[in-house]
Amino acid sequence: MRFLGFFSLLLVYFLVSCNQKDAGIFKNVSEEYPILKEVLENADKYQVQIKYTQIDRSESNDPVFKHFEFNLDDGRYFYPASTVKLPVAVLALEWLSEQDVFGLSKESAMVTDSIRESQVPAFADSTSANLMPSIAHYIKKILLVSDNDAYNRLYELLGQDYINHKMKEKGLNHTVINHRLSMPMSPEENRHFNPIKFVDFEGQVILELPGREASNAYSVEGNPSIGKAYVSGGEKVSEPMDFTFKNKYALSDFHGTVMRLVFPEKFDSAQRFHISEEDRLFVLKYMSMLPGESDYPKYELPEFYDSYSKFVKFGTDKNPIPDNFRIFNKTGMAYGHLLDGVYFVDFENKVEFFVSAVIYVNANETLNDNEYEFEEIAFPFYAELGEYLYQRELKRERKVKPDLSEFLFSY
């Protein structure tokens, strides 16, 4: 009888946690969502992938997940763009927690030097309150406006070996991170990392790291290529672009990263990010903060509107996002790909769900020519996808309304 009881519990867990390919959720979308409908009905053309997670709560507010997938394929390569900044930001905090150095914290000044011609130093940061860079400040810039330089500095701090080992350690097995962003470097140069010093407020060195080199060459399996042509140095090259030595971050890994940050207790210890609760809340706060709510760094209108990096439901709407909504997310946009990974919350109506997606909009199949259908297709797709799922969640029967107070931050 004890065995049967255990088997029944196991079966229930399987049923509520299993992935469902679409179960009708992404079939027969109404004309009310014309771009979403167009994309879903032409999934191969747009190379769209979606993972959506419903959340139900027990009487004790414990979350139970039900996953739905559309066209999800971890073996199909897409360029992840800035979404890779999220795990690198969190791993910087994990690295920090592993250092046993008195006085070292995420607020310590982080001074980056250079010893190779391709490297760029960073001795100051005019956007921080004390004019000095730090791990904390770089993370803020990454999560608020997806700053490329901030990501590069944390990439240089951690190095490829640490990043890729840690991702696999956590069961995020479809990820390869092997380069800086917006810095044209060879794969060999991307394997070299700047010397870095952490100093206290009096300028005394707390920790010093020499220049380092990756012990392995990290590349994407299968030598993926994209498109039929690309522009390089102002000239069109009539062949696909090679992405063998570009980053990879499969949608299931991206989705899993966001879920690990929001509900770490639902994952085995080995699969979690090993950061303090204070640091986890720090990450969630800045994932959900709007650009205009930040003082250091300061981001102002009209360039940095509320939905500047909040695509799901709000697209490119320049109006303020209503106060009852909070979007904990990371976005990416490059080479015709647009991505968003979201924990979506409506405090007023007690709605919560996860959704991650990628779409490719490059009708002429030429990369780097800046002729992508982001405005016509990609941003409206995210606006309609978010609204579609939000309306379903508003109408969905739930026995227990969630207590979402842990996600109410002071901004």
Sheet strands (E) in 27-147: 49-57, 63-70, 109-112
User: Is residue 4, in this structure, part of any structural domain at all?
Assistant: no
The letter for the amino acid at 271 is Q
How high is the pLDDT of residue 22?
54
What backbone phi and psi angles, to 5 degrees, belong to 93?
A: -70, -35
Q: Half-sphere exposure (CA, 13 Å, Cβ side) for 281?
A: 10
pLDDT, position 11: 42
Model's pTM, two decimal places?
A: 0.94
Helix (H, G, I), strand (E, B) or coil at 373: coil
What phi and psi values does residue 150 have, to the nearest 5 degrees?
Answer: -60, -45
Segments forming the whole domain that contains residue 200: 15-407
CATH number of the domain encompassing residue 315:
3.40.710.10
Distances (CA, A) of 38 to 25, 49, 211, 384: 15, 14, 50, 11
Residue at 2 is within a domain: no
Number of domains in the chain: 1
The answer to whether residue 360 is domain-embedded is yes
Identify whether 1 is part of a domain: no
Sequence-separated (6 or more) residues with CB below 8 Å from residue 21:
68, 69, 70
Does residue 9 sit within a domain? no
Q: What whole-number distance in Å separates Cα of residue 339 and Cα of residue 362?
A: 14
> Which pLDDT score is estimated for 23?
52
Helix 277-288 vs helix 251-262: crossing angle, to nearest 10: 120
Residue 155 has φ and ψ, to the nearest 5°, of -60, -45
Rg of the chain over Cα atoms, rounded to whole angstroms, equals 22
Q: How far apart are CA 130 and CA 108, in angstroms?
A: 11
Residue 24: what pLDDT? 81
In which residue are the tokens 């060195």 written?
Answer: 205
Is 6 domain-assigned? no
DSSP reduced 3-state for 166 = helix
Token output for 354: 């996860």
| pLDDT value of residue 19 | 56
Per DSSP bridges, beta strands 229-232 and 366-367 are: parallel
pLDDT of residue 1: 41
Nearest alpha-carbon partner for 410 in 331, 275, 295:
295
Tell me whether the omega of the peptide bond preceding residue 63 falls within 30 degrees of 0, making it cis: no
**Residue 265 token pair:** 């207790």
The amino acid sitting at 258 is V
- Residue 108: closest CA among 209, 186, 221: 209
Angstrom distance (rounded) from CA 313 to CA 151: 26
Task: Answer yes or no: is 129 within a domain.
Answer: yes
How open is the CA angle 83-178-227, to the nearest 5 degrees?
70
> Cα separations (Å) of 221 from 71, 74, 76, 167, 216?
20, 12, 11, 16, 14
Q: Which residue has the tokens 């190379």?
A: 47
Q: What are phi and psi of 299, to 5 degrees?
A: -130, 125
Q: In sequence order, which ranges of 42-173 are alpha helices (DSSP H)?
A: 43-46, 85-98, 135-145, 148-169
Q: Is the dihedral of CA 68, 70, 73, 79 positive or negative?
A: negative
Domain presence at residue 86: yes
Predicted local confidence at residue 6, as pLDDT: 40
* Bridge partner residues of 230 (DSSP): 237, 367
Spatial CB neighbours of 399, under 8 Å, sequence gap ≥ 6 = 56
pLDDT at position 38: 98
Q: If you write DSSP's letter for every residue of 193-218 in order, what string do you get?
A: E--EEEE-TTS-EEEEE--EE-SS--
Distance CA 167, CA 174 (A): 9
In sign, the C-alpha dihedral spanning 183, 189, 192, 197 is negative
Per-residue tens of pLDDT for the chain, all 411 residues:
444 444 444 444 443 445 555 558 999 999 999 999 999 999 999 999 999 999 999 999 999 999 999 999 999 999 999 999 999 999 999 999 999 999 999 999 999 999 999 999 999 999 999 999 999 999 999 999 999 999 999 999 999 999 999 999 999 999 999 999 999 999 999 999 999 999 998 989 999 999 999 999 999 999 999 999 999 999 999 999 999 999 999 999 999 999 999 999 999 999 999 999 999 999 999 999 999 999 999 999 999 999 999 999 999 999 999 999 999 999 999 999 999 999 999 999 999 999 999 999 999 999 999 999 999 999 999 999 999 999 999 999 999 999 999 999 999
Q: What phi and psi values does residue 25 have, to the nearest 5 degrees?
A: -60, -40
Nearest Cα residue to 384 out of 34, 5, 14: 34
The contacts of residue 293 (CB under 8 Å, 6+ apart) are 411
What's the pLDDT at 21? 56
CA distance 196 to 390: 45
